[in-house]
Each structure stands twice: as C-alpha cells, then as structure tokens.
C-alpha cells in the first residue's frame, strides 16, 4: 500500500479537519499509484488517515477514512447506505435529488444524481474514477435503477489527467427523463443538459420562491424554466430569459407539460435584457437572478464582484417597491458576506433599501461539510425592496 508523509504544515492542516492534502504539504510519497487508496502518516510513521492519491492534481490526497479499516466494496456500500438514510430524512416531494455529494458523503469527488429510475454519475478524481465500476454495481444492487449514465464531460477532469467522456454504465439512459419537484413536472436531458441534467442544488429555493412570488415575475438565467414554473402557480405573469436556445426550448416544453401558459420565454443575454426593460419602463414585482458562476477561480473575484453588482443593480431598477429579489451566486470564491456586501452596494446605487427575508444555500441533498469550506458554494438571498 502506498504511503504519504505530511510536512508539519500539512499535519496542522489535516488536524484542523480539512479532507485534502496538497502536494506541497507532502514530504515523501512511496509506492503510491494514481487513484489508489494510500495511507497518510506523520514524519515519525504514525498513522493519520487513508484516502485517494492523485499523481497529477495539486490535491494529492483526499480523505476517505480516519481509521485503518479495510477500504473495499463493503466499505463503499456502507457509505452509500449512509448517504441514502440521510436523503430519506432530508429530501421529500421530488423524484430528482443528489445521492452522493463527494467529500460531504465520505466518497471524495464522486457525484451521484438520481432522476427517478435513471441515474447519473460523475468521477472527478483519479480515486473516484478507479472505484466507478464498484459504485455502479452497488447502485444496481441497492436501487435497481433502469439506467446509469457516466457524465464525465467536465473540464476539471483534465487537472487529474482524465479524459472527457460520456458512457453508459447500465441499461439504456433515455434522451429525456420526466421527474417531479413539488407540484411541477419537468423533463431532463441526462445526456447533454447542464450539470447532470438539472440544477438540483436550487430545488429548495425554487419551492420557496414559488410560495412567495406574486404579480409580474422575471426569471433571469432560467435554464429549463424551473423557477418560472414554480412562480407561475401564484404569479399573474412570468417572463423567463436565458441565452441558450436549447435551454429556452426545454423550458417551453416544460411549461406546456405543466399546462402553464402564463410564461413568456425569451432567448437573450440577461444583462442586455435588463437594461432594455428599464429603458422601456417595465416593472416587476419579483426578480430571480440565478447566473452561472462568475468567479471560477480566486483570480476572477474582483471581476465577478463587478458582474454581480451590475446584475443586481439592473434587477433592482426594475423592481417595484415591495417587490422581491431572489438573488443567487454559485461561485465558491465569493463568500456569503462578500455577496451581501455586493448586494448592499447595488441597493445603495439603485437608491433603495432591502429587507433580508432569508438567506439560503444549496439544498440539504448537497450537504455542507463544515470542515470543508469548498462544499459551501451556493448563496441565495431572498430580499424585499422597502422603498
């Protein structure tokens, strides 16, 4: 079995609980194969933990267990069962949710999403890649899925020296799968939709927004229209905008699937759309802003902050007094208090003040591991314009 020894700095970091060790914080690497389970030790040879080794990534070690137990199919089975029991407690009213969220479920860099009887898997490190067949066999044993699709078309895999690919692991994944979320139904494109087909992380916020929004509502960055569909149940009129034609087409189909004819879908750049709407004197009672991550890395933070600021300012100009802004950032690198600062400045620039109705994050099926700040990425504020 491969062995890694940590530097004093790496040891302090590990003892604080973070599940990763960076290559710079390793002193020696012995017999460690790419993706293998290795032992992490102190310089004196004291056992610390076991985890996945990567021979390419800056993240050389990903924690799997703090004890010297055997890491085999039985071990992975118990991790999956634990993840399942947790979801049974925190997920309700949907047939689509995340079963495994990497480190937060003790299976680093593995993503498993469920869409009814169809499943999608992503392996984002050499270690997760190596156990993929075992995981697929366990999913079949524990859940009897109709199909399992591997959606490994992610650029982060190149950091691990892994190729981009899509592969069927079981059954025949259909082109579209119909699922439900609260009172609405939608069809997911497992093969080429964004993420694994849907933004499951916003589910709880979509349900909240659906209960709260009234009047004329704008869903900006609507993707397949899910915020719009939930909002359309109470709102008198909904406008939904996305720059992707595929997304708008899918969103229209989802609206007709739910017999919701109060939604107008527009393919446009949201920044331009907001500006044009202000110039045209349009006003809304609710605006949802759910943009893609503007800060993919730390070096993007300043530009991203300007982007979020501009976006929120434009949205606030369109909002009637008493109107509701639902504004999200899925950039890990923009922390919650930074995001609130950005919104505060946009509010000031728009000449209005905001009441914070609630601050939320990704759904509980994407649990935040508090020793692993990287697992906390989604911020979603619900605000009311007070003047």
Known catalytic residues? Answer: 330
Q: Which of 127-135, 215-223, 229-237, 249-257 is the region at the interface with ligand SAH (rule: CB under 6 A)?
A: 215-223
Among 15, 269, 297, 371, binds ligand SAH (CB under 6 A): 269
Q: What is the footprint of ligand SAH within residues 60-79 (CB under 6 A)?
A: none
Q: Is 199 in the site for ligand SAH (CB under 6 A)?
A: yes
Q: Is 227 in the site for ligand SAH (CB under 6 A)?
A: yes
The least CB distance from residue 205 to ligand SAH, in Å, is 8
The least CB distance from residue 134 to ligand SAH, in Å, is 31
Residue 203: count other Cβ atoms within 10 Å of its Cβ.
Answer: 25
Phi, psi values for residue 188, rounded to 5°: -110, 135
Strand intervals (E) in the chain? 2-6, 20-22, 26-30, 37-41, 47-53, 59-65, 96-101, 110-115, 118-123, 147-152, 165-170, 177-181, 184-188, 216-220, 237-242, 263-267, 284-289, 319-329, 354-360, 379-385
Residue 196's contacts (CB-CB under 8 Å, 6 or more residues apart) are: 111, 113, 115, 120, 122, 151, 190
Q: Which is nearer to ligand SAH, 82 or 153 (CB)?
A: 153
Q: What is the footprint of ligand SAH within residues 278-307 (CB under 6 A)?
A: 290-292
**CA 41 to the chain's CA centroid:** 33
Q: Which of 38-46, 96-104, 173-181, 223-231 is the region at the interface with ligand SAH (rule: CB under 6 A)?
A: 223-231
Among 50, 152, 196, 202, binds ligand SAH (CB under 6 A): 202
The least CB distance from residue 77 to ligand SAH, in Å, is 32
Contact yes or no for 212/252 (Cβ under 8 A):
no
Contact residues toward ligand SAH (CB under 6 A) are: 194, 199, 202, 206, 221-224, 226-227, 241-244, 247, 269-271, 290-292
């Amino acid at each position: 079995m491969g062995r890694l020894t940590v530097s004093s700095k790496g040891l302090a970091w590990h003892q604080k609980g973070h599940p990763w060790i960076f290559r710079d914080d390793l002193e020696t690497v012995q017999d460690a194969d790419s993706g293998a389970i290795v032992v992490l030790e102190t310089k004196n040879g004291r056992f610390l933990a076991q985890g996945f080794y990567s021979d390419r990534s800056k993240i050389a070690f990903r924690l799997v267990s703090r004890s010297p137990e055997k890491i085999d199919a039985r071990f992975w089975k118990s991790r999956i069962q634990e993840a399942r029991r947790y979801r049974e407690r925190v997920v309700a009213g949907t047939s689509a949710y995340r079963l495994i969220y990497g480190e937060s479920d003790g299976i680093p860099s593995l993503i498993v999403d469920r869409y009814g009887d169809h499943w999608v898997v992503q392996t984002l490190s050499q270690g997760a890649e190596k156990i993929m067949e075992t995981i697929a066999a366990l999913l079949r044993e524990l859940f009897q899925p109709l199909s399992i699709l591997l959606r490994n078309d992610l650029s982060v895999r190149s950091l691990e020296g892994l190729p981009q690919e899509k592969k069927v692991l079981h059954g025949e994944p259909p082109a579209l799968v119909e699922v439900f979320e609260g009172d609405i139904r939608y069809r997911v494109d497992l093969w080429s939709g964004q993420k694994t087909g849907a933004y499951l992380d916003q589910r709880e916020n979509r349900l909240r927004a659906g209960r709260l929004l009234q009047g004329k509502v704008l869903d900006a960055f609507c993707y397949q229209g899910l915020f719009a569909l939930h909002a359309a149940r109470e709102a008198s009129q909904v406008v939904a905008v996305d720059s992707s034609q595929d997304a708008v087409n899918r969103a229209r189909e989802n609206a007709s699937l739910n017999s919701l004819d109060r939604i107008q879908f527009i393919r446009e750049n949201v920044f331009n759309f907001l500006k044009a709407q202000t110039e045209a004197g349009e006003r809304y009672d609710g605006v949802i802003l759910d943009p893609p991550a503007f800060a993919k890395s730390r070096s993007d933070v300043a530009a991203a902050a300007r982007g979020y600021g501009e976006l929120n300012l434009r949205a606030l100009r369109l909002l009637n007094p008493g109107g509701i802004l639902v504004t999200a950032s899925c950039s890990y690198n923009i922390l919650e208090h930074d995001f609130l600062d950005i919104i505060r400045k946009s509010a000031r620039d728009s000449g209005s003040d905001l009441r914070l109705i609630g601050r939320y994050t990704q759904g509980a099926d994407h649990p935040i591991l508090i020793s692993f700040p990287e697992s906390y990425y989604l911020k979603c504020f619900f605000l009311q314009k007070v003047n």
